[in-house]
Amino acid sequence: MIELHESQSGDVTVISLSGKLDAATTPATEARLVALAREGKKFLALDFSGVSYLASSGLRMLLVLTREITSLEGGLVLCNLDDTMKGTLEVTGFLPYFRLASSADEAIGLLRV
């Protein structure tokens, strides 16, 4: 089970994820995040500091989310990824498609500009 904690900073919604992003947890997480974007919270900062594992289904979720947010003319920033997660994004060619930040505050700053 993955937990989502939502906080608002102006127009930017910070979602802190905690748990494993694997095949069991991503469908519900993806549905929740896409719903948030469609409801208007389309400037999202995803905080991965509580995520212990990013599986291939998690990559798929990120792709779905970024595509949805792009179509809504919003913005997505991933923050607090550990080295393994960054390595996963790098080796699979995901890195160029995402903006990364080292903290939630930096992510908020990137989304505000």
Partner 1 sequence: MRLLDIRRDEAFKMVLTWLMCALLSIGYAIGWSAVHSMLVKRMGVEYLPYTYIGISLLGVFGSSVYLLFADAVRRDRLLMVFAGATGLALVLARTLVTARPEGEKGFTLPLLLFFLAVFFAQGVGNSTLGTQVWTIINDLFRPSQGRRLYPILGTAGTIGGIAGGASIHYLAGTLGTANLVLVWAASIWLLIPLTLWLRKRFGGELRGRHAGTASAKPRGSHLLEGWKFFASSKMAAILGFVAVMFWVVGSVADFQYTRIMNATFPTESKLAGYYGVYGMVINTSGLLVQIFFSGYLIRRIGIARGLCALPLTALAGFALIAARFTFWPGLALRYAWDMVGMTVQGNSYQLAMNAVPAALRARIRGVIDGVINPLGGVLGGILILCLHHFFDATGDRGWLDPVTIAGFVLTAAWFLIVSRSGKVYLETVAENLRSAEARTAMDAIDCLEEPGNPRAEALLDEVAEMPDPEKRAAAARVRGAVRSRSSLLGLAVSCADPSPQVRHASVRALARVPVSHPLPPEAVAAVSRLVESDPDLSVRSEALHFLLMREEPEKAGKLAAAWLNHGSADVRVRIVEALAGQDVDRPRLLAPCLSDPSPAVRSAAICALWDAPGGRNAARSALAELLSESDPSAHGPALIACHRTGACPDAERARRMGESADPVIRVLAGAAAIRFCPGPHAATLDAIFETLADEAHAGRLRAEVLPLVPDLGEEAADAILLAAAKLPPESKSHVSKVLGEWYLVLESRIARPEP
Binding residues for partner 1, per CB under 8 A?
8, 10-11, 22-23, 38-43, 55-57, 59-60, 63-64, 67-68, 71, 73-74, 84-85, 87-88, 90-94, 97, 112-113
In the complex, minimum distance from the CB of residue 29 to partner 1, in angstroms, rounded to a whole number:
15
Do 17 and 47 touch, CB atoms closer than 8 A?
yes
CA distance 58 to 72: 21
> Cα(49)–Cα(52) distance, rounded to whole angstroms?
8
Please, which residue, 4 or 34, has the CB nearer to partner 1? 34
Please give the distance of CA 92 from its chain centroid, rounded to a whole number.
Answer: 17
Whichever of 17 and 65 has its CB closer to partner 1, that residue is 65
